[in-house]
């Protein structure tokens, strides 16, 4: 009988695979342990980081219209739920939602946020699901009277490669059949604005990036020079994405258990992409995965957009 792999074992396997590959890269989902989740909440409050406040303003202004798209008695599923701050601006307008199902890989953070939300909405059924939302997972059954609707804010879809984005959207189209998906995208814009958002003057994004190695030290006993890596984030214009890397300051070695990995000076571990989209380009991507385009809500500068996508019947 095969025993299920633990989250720590999966992190170890994926980190070993990342450090063994060339070029070296790892999924950004491993940013979000308890410390990383708190750091990301701090990033969202930074003056340089426009996505969160812009999206919140859109939800405040158009939340009623978005709730009309969602409809009554919905089972609302939030992918990559985090702090559950934004969903409140939808819940305030939803008509008798059947349940709210936040899905997130950071279990302690998710359960604490769900408990806090439950105190604010005592009549709402909340069913938190600790899982990697990009992989198949079991959602609670829903009643016939309502629809299952996805909520994926924060431009997190931009962390996926185009192939990964298609895989997620295809999975969501099946999971949300008969319902829809409300999703946020960060728009293509002036590179200087993007650079500032990922290289904040307070160094919080740098700490968030470097925490991935600190997590490896805490959870896996990784050995490395704590001053041996620096945060590197830049806009790759041909690929229309921000890239985040951990760059080795000099030749050095990371040890995890009995295995050693050598880094040359300047060599990097690629930790995150943040793809930027046009509305037409993203709607075309979603259409290829089974969704139909619906209403679109953007700020006056076209920096950020929330889109309604109708799932197939």
- Helix/strand/coil (H, E, C) string of 144-213? CCCCEEEEECCCHHHHCCHHHHHHHHHHHHHHCCCCEEEEEEEECCCHHHHHHHHCCCCCHHHHHHHHHH
Residues 81 and 125 in one domain: yes
pTM, whole model, 2 decimals? Answer: 0.90
Residues 94 and 141 in one domain: yes
Residues 138 and 201 in one domain: no
Residues 71 and 177 in one domain: yes
Number of domains in the chain: 2
Domain, as residue range, for 251: 7-31+193-275
Whether 37 is in a domain gets the answer: no
Residue 176's DSSP bridge partners are none
Residues 284 and 256 in one domain: no
Residues 149 and 239 in one domain: no
- Between CA 218 and CA 239 the distance in angstroms is 34
Whether 144 is in a domain gets the answer: yes
Whether 17 is in a domain gets the answer: yes
Write out the chain's pLDDT in tens, 313 residues.
344 578 899 999 999 999 999 999 999 999 999 899 899 999 999 999 999 999 999 999 999 999 999 999 999 999 998 789 999 999 999 999 999 999 998 888 899 999 999 999 999 999 999 988 988 888 988 877 789 999 999 899 999 999 999 999 999 999 999 999 999 999 999 999 999 999 999 999 999 999 999 999 999 999 999 899 999 999 999 999 999 999 999 999 999 999 999 999 999 999 999 999 999 999 999 999 999 999 999 999 999 999 999 999 9
Residues 202 and 85 in one domain: no
Residues 284 and 148 in one domain: yes
CB atoms within 10 A of CB 72: 14
Whether 47 is in a domain gets the answer: no
The CATH number of whichever domain residue 160 belongs to comes to 3.40.50.150
Residues 19 and 150 in one domain: no
């Amino acid at each position: 009988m095969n025993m299920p792999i633990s989250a720590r074992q999966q992190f170890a396997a994926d980190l070993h695979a990342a450090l063994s590959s060339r070029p070296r890269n790892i999924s950004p989902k491993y940013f979000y342990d308890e410390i990383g989740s708190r750091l990301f909440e701090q990033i969202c409050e930074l003056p340089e980081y426009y996505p969160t406040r812009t999206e919140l303003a859109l939800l405040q202004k158009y939340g009623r219209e978005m709730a009309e798209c969602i409809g009554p008695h919905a089972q609302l599923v939030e992918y990559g739920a985090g702090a559950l701050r934004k969903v409140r601006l939808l819940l305030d307008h939803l008509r008798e939602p059947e349940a709210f199902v936040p899905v997130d890989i950071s279990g302690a953070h998710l359960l604490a946020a769900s408990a806090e939300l439950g105190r604010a909405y005592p009549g709402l059924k909340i069913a938190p699901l600790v899982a990697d939302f990009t992989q198949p997972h079991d959602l609670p059954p829903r009643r016939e009277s309502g629809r299952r609707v996805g909520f994926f804010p924060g431009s997190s879809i931009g962390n996926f490669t185009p192939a990964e984005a298609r895989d997620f959207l295809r999975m969501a189209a099946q999971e949300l059949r008969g319902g829809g998906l409300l999703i946020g995208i960060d728009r293509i814009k002036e590179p200087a604005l993007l650079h500032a958002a990922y290289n904040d003057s307070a160094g919080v994004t740098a700490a968030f990036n470097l925490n991935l190695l600190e997590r490896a030290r805490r959870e896996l006993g990784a050995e490395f020079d704590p001053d041996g890596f620096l945060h590197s984030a830049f806009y790759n214009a041909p690929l229309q994405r921000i890239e985040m890397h951990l760059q080795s300051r000099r030749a050095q070695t990371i040890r995890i258990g009995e295995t050693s990995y050598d880094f040359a000076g300047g060599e990097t571990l690629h930790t995150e992409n943040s793809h930027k989209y046009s509305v037409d380009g993203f709607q075309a991507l979603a259409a290829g995965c089974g969704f139909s385009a619906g209403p679109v809500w953007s700020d006056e500068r076209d920096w950020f957009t929330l889109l309604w996508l109708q799932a197939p019947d």
